[in-house]
Amino acid sequence: MTDPYRLISQTQAAYARAIDDDQLEQWSDFFADPCTYRVTSAASHRDGLPGGIVYCTSRGMLKDRISALREANIYERHSYRHILGAPYIVAERGSHVDSETAFMVARIMHTGETALFATGKYIDTYVIEAGQARIESRLVVCDSSRVDTLLVIPL
């Protein structure tokens, strides 16, 4: 399975599955180290602002984020369901692949109430090594600017 498209498609499916199954401790394993993980809004992205509702630059920071989430536990229990489009391959540069992927995320509250929570796209750079694709850089561009204050579980 060395076809980059397939590899990225499967990696994204695994990434979404880990989050939606509440296996958040696996989340950082999808990233290279160091890495970049940023969440921003389409408006900030369009205006060239760095954004950064969330900003992590290493696996350690990603892990810390999950630990904090597990310990704090002050938010109402909920889960996500990610649905991703096919990755659009923007460029292949040696072992690096740039891709963009549309997402919709539904949020399911403890009560069962379900709502469309976030839409947007991932702007990614993957590094492919030994048949594995890891995220070197993920910029999560949320279409709406309303999403930020509610953001607990990673997108």
Which residues make up the interface to a copy of itself (CB under 8 A)? 5-6, 9-10, 12-14, 16-17, 20, 42, 79, 81-89, 100, 102-104, 106, 108, 111-116, 118-121, 143-147
Q: CB-wise, 82 or 96, nearer to a copy of itself?
A: 82
Strands 54-56 and 78-84, how do they pair?
Answer: unpaired
Q: What is the dihedral of CA 88, 92, 98, 102, to 10 degrees?
A: 10
**Degrees to nearest 5, angle at CA 77 with 76 and 79:** 130
Q: CB-wise, 14 or 54, nearer to a copy of itself?
A: 14
One-letter amino acid at 31 equals: F
| Minimum CB distance to a copy of itself, residue 142 (Å) | 9
3-class DSSP state of 76: coil
| Minimum CB distance to a copy of itself, residue 68 (Å) | 23
| Minimum CB distance to a copy of itself, residue 35 (Å) | 22
